[in-house]
Structure 1
Amino acid sequence: MAMTKLLPLHRFEQFGLLSEAEREAVLALPGRPYTIDRGQTILRENDEARGFYLLLSGWAAVWKVMPNGGRQIAKIHLPGEPLGTPSMAMRRSTENVLAITDVVIANVPLARFGALFETHPRVAARFLLSVQQERIVLMDRLAAIGRVGAEASVASFLLDVKERLEPLGLVQDKSFDLMVTQEQIGDVLGLTSVHVSRVLSSLTSRGLIERNGRRYRLPNADLLSATAARPERQPFPDQDWLPAAR
């Protein structure tokens, strides 16, 4: 299947539309796509770093083994997002990446990505801006751990997933499929699965969310946002400082 049908471009275009030449350059980045089954490891900590991956479809999780043997999920990745970018600065991978669902991924060699800085510097700059947005979300979540209630953390998580699925066209009538378990939500937020279950039941009883299996609906995002512990962030609108398109 052509890469134009596989690779979502919203992460590259969230700071402005790509030119036709830039779109072609982005679509030429990944190698041959391949499938990894649900529950299989995509990347292991201490593997030799060979570029990064683009998640073409499916959900994946970045996780670390804690000193007590427990697991902490640092990030849930959705289609169109890069995997393994922190390891770009290292000789070996710094993280474990697990396929939460069946996934399709493709490798991006560092040399091929590096060429973008010369041939299409605006694309490379926008990619780095997108990665910085991920860093901000992670910092906000880390700052909230232990300082806000479980209800606020779960509400923030649900809103974040919905907002990231919307550019993919995977939200209809304010509803979406949540492809993570309550245990995995707990691993992201530092909560037990029992605690997550209680919070979801509370949010449901108050009409802030609706659930039918994996299908979640957020009927009033403003009310749910009032419950969530999320600082208001406003993207810098002026991108004139970025390199010109080539």
Structure 2
Amino acid sequence: MSRQPRDIIRSEGDRVSGFYLLVRGWVSSSIVLGSGARLINKVHLPGDMLGTPSMVLPRAADTLTAITEAVVAFVPFERLGRICTRLPRLGALLTFATQVERLALMDVLAVTGRASAKEQLARLLLDLHARLTPIGVVEDDAFDLPLTQEMIGDLTGLSAVHVNRKMRELREDWVIAREGRKVRILDLPALRALSPIRPRLLQFEPAWLPFL
């Protein structure tokens, strides 16, 4: 299923009958607040599962929108149930994937309102760098960043003006470089020193999981 930038994959309030796998591209998850304002709470990258928080709801909790050209695959709950019955190890790994999402949410909540703007941006850039590296799209610590300043502001709780100012400071300090949509991390240790969250080493397939 191919989607163009700004295409809605599933809207908040839609009936839920499965989830999605992101094959290619970037997708945002957003919710609408009581004031009517939209808040982007997650950016999904290739390999991510989309819409899984809504698995416990009859209707979707968020809106999934393509940021770039994207390809997604829909997985009905019935198919997921058959897979978990036939391949319990895969079912356990899916549980691990939800815990990775929970850990990411814990990190975001830990720094919201407690870290400086520059620290918030450092955490976000390191998170994207860490998630993009395993899928082979980071080259010489550089990667495409198709997010507007408003989107980055949503993800960090900052205004677009503040995002612009602090990104400029990171460039002036020679921590990052920016050319168009491309961001290059020039000083990874310095960026890590700025981040209020220490790097995490995930154990996605621990030895105690069953082989079958």
Q: Same fold (TM over 0.5)?
A: yes
More strand by share: 2
TM-score by length of 1: 0.82
Q: Match of 1:210?
A: 177
- Report the CA distance between 1:35 and its aligned residue: 0.9
Structure 2 regions of 5+ residues with no counterpart? Answer: none
| Identity fraction in percent | 41
Q: Match of 2:89?
A: 122
**Change in CA separation of 1:107 and 1:220 when aligned onto 2, cut-off 3 Å:** same
Counterpart selection for 1:132 from 95, 99, 104: 99
The answer to whether the Cα contact below 8 Å between 2:28 and 2:42 also exists between their aligned partners in 1 is yes
| SS in structure 2 at match of 1:235 | coil
Structure 2 residue identity aligned to 1:127: L
Matches of 1:122 and 1:201 in 2, distance apart? 46
The answer to whether the Cα contact below 8 Å between 1:140 and 1:231 also exists between their aligned partners in 2 is no
Paired residue total: 212
Is 1:46 paired with 2:13? yes
Matches of 2:138 and 2:160 in 1, distance apart? 25
**Change in CA separation of 1:140 and 1:183 when aligned onto 2, cut-off 3 Å:** same
Matches of 1:140 and 1:168 in 2, distance apart? 22
Deviates more, 1:150-159 or 1:125-134: 125-134
Counterpart selection for 1:157 from 110, 114, 124: 124
Equivalent positions of 1:141-156 (< 5 A) are 141-156=108-123
The answer to whether the Cα contact below 8 Å between 1:54 and 1:107 also exists between their aligned partners in 2 is yes
Structure 1 residue identity aligned to 2:77: L
Structure 2 residue identity aligned to 1:214: R
Matches of 2:193 and 2:42 in 1, distance apart? 23
**Change in CA separation of 1:187 and 1:219 when aligned onto 2, cut-off 3 Å:** same
Counterpart selection for 1:90 from 57, 73, 77: 57
Matches of 1:234 and 1:80 in 2, distance apart? 18
Matches of 1:116 and 1:78 in 2, distance apart? 23
**Change in CA separation of 1:197 and 1:42 when aligned onto 2, cut-off 3 Å:** same
Counterpart selection for 2:138 from 171, 176, 199: 171
TM-score by length of 2: 0.95
- Report the CA distance between 1:234 and its aligned residue: 4.0
Equivalent positions of 1:1-246 (< 5 A) are 34-236=1-203, 239-245=206-212
